[in-house]
Homo-oligomer: A and B are copies of this chain.
Amino acid sequence: MAARPAKREPVTRPVRARTPRAAQDELNVSIRKQSVSDVIARSLEEDIVLGRRYPRERLVEQDLCERFKTHRGDVRLALFELEKKGIIQRIPNRGAIVRDLTPKEVREIYAVREELEVMAIRILPFPVAKSDLDQLAELQREHSAAIDVGDLLTVFYSNLHFHQMLFGLCSNTCLIEAIELLAQKTYGIRSYANAFPEALDQARRDHIEMIEALRASRRDDLIALARRHLKPSQEAYIRAYERRFGDTNLAIRILAK
Contact = CB atoms under 8 A, between A and B. Distances in A.
A91 interface: yes
The quantity of this chain's copies bound in the complex is: 2
Given A54-B14, A84-B84, A116-B115, A20 B257 contact: yes
A109 B178 CA distance: 10
Contacts of A17: 257
A109 B56 contact: no
Interface residues of A, number: 55
A3 interface: no
A-side interface mostly? helix
B56 A16 contact: yes
Given A84-B84, A174-B108, A255 B26 contact: yes
Contacts of A63: 11
A109 B172 CA distance: 8
A94 B22 contact: yes
25 contacts: A14-B53, A15-B54, A15-B55, A18-B257, A19-B257, A20-B256, A20-B257, A21-B94, A23-B255, A23-B257, A25-B94, A26-B89, A27-B255, A35-B92, A80-B80, A84-B84, A108-B172, A108-B173, A108-B175, A109-B174, A112-B116, A115-B115, A115-B116, A115-B119, A178-B182
